Amino acid sequence: MATSNQLTIEFSSLSENLSFARVAVAAFASQINFTMHELEEIKVMVSEAVSNSITHGYNNSPDEKVKINAVIQGQNFHLEIEDYGCGIEDIEQAMEPAYSTSEERMGLGFVFMQSFSEYMNIDSVPEKGTKVTLSKSAASNTEKNYVTN
């Protein structure tokens, strides 16, 4: 039976917490035999998802919460980043490279998350929030699988 471990954290939707989220999740993920490069990719996935929650989900409102749930199962790492904000009206459009609802943003967050994970799912309901689920294995020879809801 594969060893299993779980981390759940919830924090205020402040941009200052972005670094905390990156480091906390990477430290947790380092229990798996990831390379330094793979840990950097995990940090980018966390940064992009949390930043999307703060910037787009909550329109930079500091009074909301972002939740991260990470699970290690053997050499597999599963990550969920969830907000309870405005949600995404059109997920396919949001996933297009360079699309952003903010002129100050590059619109590459989902592109980076997708390229650094083996599995990505975006579950979003307008006015209820968004959950991004990502998976990565230390044995990086698995096929990529992307789902949108």
Query: Residues with catalytic annotation?
Result: 48, 52, 105
Q: Is 8 exposed, middle or buried (0-12, 13-18, 19+ CB in 10 A)?
A: exposed
- Whole-angstrom distance, CA of residue 22 vs CA of residue 83: 16
Distance in angstroms (rounded) separating the CA atoms of residues 125 and 57: 11
Tokens found for residue 113: 């998350």
Task: Give, to the nearest 10 degrees, the angle between helix 109-116 and helix 36-52.
Answer: 150
